[in-house]
Chain A
Amino acid sequence: MHGIFEEILPLVRKPSRYIGNELNSIHKNWDDVSLHIALAYPDLYEVGMSNLGIQILYDILNKQKDVLAERVFCPAPDMAEKLKEQVSNLSLLSLESWTPISKFDMLGFSIGHELTYTNILEMLKLSNIPIYSKDRDDSHPIIFAGGPACFNPEPIAEFVDFFVIGEAEEAIVEIGVRVQGIGDRVGKLKELAKIEGVYVPAMKNRVKKRHVADFSNAHVPIKPIVPFIQTIQDRAVVEVMRGCKRACKFCNARVLYSPVRERDPKRVISLADELIKNTGQEKLALTSLSSSDYSAIESVSKEIAQKIAKQKVSLNLPSLRTDSFGVRLAKEVSRVRPSSLTLAPETGNEKLRFSIGKRITDQEVLEGVKAAFEGGISAVKLYFMIGLPGETDDDILSIAELVKKAHQIGRSFTKRVRITAALSTYVPKPHTAFEREAQIGISETLRRQKIIKDNTRQKGIEVRWHQAETSFLEGVFTRGDRELSRVIVAAWKLGAKLDAWSEYFKFDIWQKAFAECKIDPNSYLRKRSPEEELPWNFISIN
């Protein structure tokens, strides 16, 4: 097996995606443990290795004496082809020991978003595991899943044996204990359904979102794996806070990661220190949903920035607020002067902004822009959402106006100003205040994008947008039901995979799949009445 795989490696692009053996990867002896778990992210290695959840669970599981955890990611199409064409029917292998995935007792997917669904099927198929839960028996691994997209698990509920709803750090240990000893998979799943946060689709049990009570002292992998290749988020990470003190109505992350929990500043500082020592990373990020709201953000970031300056490590503070405090702090702690700065006003005016729960005035937005230019930054990126509930054409025009005002402010500091307006289509998410609102369709998205583009035609302003078709699909699936599993299978059979990558995404495949299944995707964008049962109602958040 290893021999054939080594022969394939030189024939594919970026073979280092498949070799494992990275610094800090954990290699346990297969026969020394009683439970073998493969942890998967259904996208390419460089996306999967940017996922903090996988690193945390990998470390927790491998700390258990009788458990071994290895990783697997979705192969790129060239590798997938090579695996399929081998006469010996070479299976997808784990990174650590190059073991076929079907040999593991369990396979867990961390699912970040809806456009990875077809990759789950692709990975199961490449592992010779039946894609439907009902077709699997005791000889197959138990398939489980968790992560943000699982807060409405119904579209993929037929492929997955059980879900962990919410934070899995504690649940995964309980799962490891309970799953051992009982013989058949039905018995195992019945036992697992007793664990708080575990949802077994075959049993249709109600479930309560899981969260870690003592986040401050929760397990952190202090020796995370350091990939050989550049990943999407290529940096060491310290989570400073979970949850969010703000109350933006559009945001599901705030709900998913509730309640608000801060990490003790002393622990944050010592973790930062250890992570740099153990990884040698050139970048360190302090992350949370809204870092400006972490009580000790200023003192902690300044102390860390000073400590790591000698080793020329740069500190990033993503998710700072769009105001002058945030901008000044970002500049102050950054050793490297950033060439650009990103702010997220979300809307073009404060009336709509306040109505979606984001309480930042237009003046505060513009002060943030001004603070950026004052510090010598010449490029500012502004994030906006279009299609918010109640949005009018005047609101759309106000985005263009705000962008032009930002440009004007920049011009008073420097001649070479670049303002980028990045437009995303608003997707109403389950468990938010807007979960019953309508989503705008593809043609309406294109019309609103065009209004903004037509009203910002001047040098120094660039408008970019999310592809309308991908937001459309995300919207269909995020509020989808079990019926949609047929569409996912049909699209995958027609060749859909790696849909989050524009180079692989083919919308016509999806259109064909919906037609084959006789399902109108547009109906999933509709406004839901207060009486309508929602597919994710069985999950309680509090």
Chain B
Amino acid sequence: MIEDKKIVIKITYTKGGEVRFISHLDLMRVISRAIRRANLPIAYSQGFNPRMKMSFGQALKVGQSSGSEEAKLTFEEEISPQEVVDRLNLVLPNGVDVLTASRI
């Protein structure tokens, strides 16, 4: 089997408005559901319980807002960083906005 080249994209996003009151774990679920709604070609882990391949920066305190949080998303197909930004922002709830995306 040929090892796929990893496509990792780092995004920065906001956590503001009322969404600042949701926990880190809930925020991760908000983003993973947005990825599914946007139908992005995210990569999944192997095994019986496949999970989206994504990693998040340190948790913010509940109630604290931030203008620039980070997450790394791994895709199984080539996709442009700008497309990730655009497609996610279409489906994210108010308070979470993807600002930038870059290939790493």
Contacts and interface: CB of A to CB of B under 8 A. Distances in A.
Interface of A: 9-10, 15-16, 19-23, 226, 228-230, 276-282, 311-313, 336-337
- Among B23, B29, B35, B48: residue with most chain A CB under 10 A: B29
B79 interface: no
B93 interface: yes
B26 A229 contact: yes
Given A15-B63, A312-B44, A336-B48, A229 B37 contact: no
Interface string B19-56: 10111001001101111110100001000111010000
Contact count band on B: 20 to 34
Contacts of A281: 33, 36
Given A16-B22, A229-B22, A10 B32 contact: no
B37 A336 contact: no
A15 B30 CA distance: 16
Please list the 6 inter-chain residue pairs (A to B) with the smallest Cβ-Cβ separation, ordered nearest first: A280-B33, A280-B36, A10-B63, A280-B37, A19-B18, A15-B21
28 contacts: A10-B63, A15-B21, A15-B63, A16-B22, A19-B21, A19-B22, A20-B18, A21-B19, A21-B95, A22-B93, A23-B91, A228-B22, A228-B26, A228-B29, A229-B23, A229-B26, A276-B36, A279-B33, A279-B37, A280-B33, A280-B34, A280-B91, A281-B33, A282-B33, A282-B36, A311-B36, A312-B44, A312-B52
Given A15-B63, A228-B26, A280 B32 contact: yes
A228 B62 CA distance: 13
A9 B44 contact: no
B67 interface: no
- Among B37, B52, B94: residue with most chain A CB under 10 A: B37
A318 B96 CA distance: 34
A337 B33 contact: no
Nearest to A338: B48
Contacts of B35: 280
A228 B30 contact: yes
Contacts of B30: 23, 228
B44 A21 contact: no
A414 B42 CA distance: 37
- Among B22, B63, B94, B95: residue with most chain A CB under 10 A: B22
Contacts of B21: 9-10, 15-16, 19
- Among B44, B49, B52, B95: residue with most chain A CB under 10 A: B49
B62 A10 contact: yes
Nearest to A312: B50
A336 B39 CA distance: 20
A9 B21 CA distance: 8
Nearest to B37: A280
B22 A226 contact: no
B37 A21 contact: no
Contacts of B29: 228, 230
A21 B17 contact: yes
Contacts of A312: 44, 50, 52
A228 B32 CA distance: 12
Contact of B37 (A9, A228, A278): A278
A68 B64 CA distance: 31
